[in-house]
């Protein structure tokens, strides 16, 4: 697998973990809460991610990424009702991503796939979705931080700890690695 595909998979896993770690900190009610009228709850964001992931990644190389049976507008209806259901839908969506990407080889990155009848190289399609998912996971994290306030457990370098973090990193031997190597296990 090319360094690009390997890196993309690590980035997807990183964003999956950020979303999961956010949901782990929240109660069922907080996941279902619409923070402000007209702003999607985390549950609705998860439902949309799942719908997009199923559409884009099932039969990724052979079918258009906008499946005829996708009901995108319905993805924004608040139908998920429990924390377990929300987490199950989240996991299932990410499984579509990984099931499509893990078998790819270097020979696939320049293949053309379609989304709404527009041709993309596999590289472009992967980048498109990586950015889309980072956008929505960022929304989840932001909503989670707002809901938890001072109880929020940071998912990155906590405020005021940058200097110590950097000192520890620069004390390590210089190596080539992805920034998520070892981080996702925490």
Q: How do the domains of the chain map onto residue ranges?
A: 3-171
- Looking at domain 3-171, which CATH architecture does it have? Up-down Bundle (1.20)
Q: How many CB atoms lie within 10 A of CB 148?
A: 15
Average pLDDT over residues 75-89: 98
Average pLDDT over residues 30-39: 95
Residue 98: both structure tokens together? 């990984």
- pTM over cut 0.85: yes
CA distance 143 to 42: 7
Among residues of the chain, what percentage have pLDDT more than 90?
89
The answer on pLDDT for 1 being more than 80 is: no
pLDDT category at 2 given cuts 50, 70, 90 is: confident
The answer on pLDDT for 151 being more than 70 is: yes
Average pLDDT over residues 96-101: 98
């Amino acid at each position: 697998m090319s360094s690009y595909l390997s890196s993309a998979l690590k980035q997807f896993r990183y964003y999956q973990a950020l979303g999961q770690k956010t949901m782990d900190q929240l109660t069922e009610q907080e996941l279902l809460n619409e923070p402000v009228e007209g702003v999607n709850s985390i549950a609705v964001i998860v439902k949309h991610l799942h719908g997009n992931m199923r559409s884009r990644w099932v039969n990724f190389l052979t079918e258009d990424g906008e499946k005829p049976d996708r009901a995108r507008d319905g993805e924004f209806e608040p139908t998920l009702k429990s924390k377990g259901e929300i987490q199950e839908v989240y996991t299932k969506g990410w499984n579509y991503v990984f099931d499509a990407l893990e078998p790819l080889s270097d020979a696939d990155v320049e293949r053309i796939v379609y989304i709404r009848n527009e041709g993309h190289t596999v590289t472009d399609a992967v980048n498109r979705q990586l950015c889309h998912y980072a956008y929505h996971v960022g929304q989840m994290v932001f909503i989670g931080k707002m809901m938890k306030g001072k109880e929020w457990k940071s998912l990155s370098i906590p405020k005021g700890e940058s200097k110590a973090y950097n000192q520890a990193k620069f004390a390590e031997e210089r190596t080539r690695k992805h920034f998520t190597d070892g981080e996702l296990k925490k």
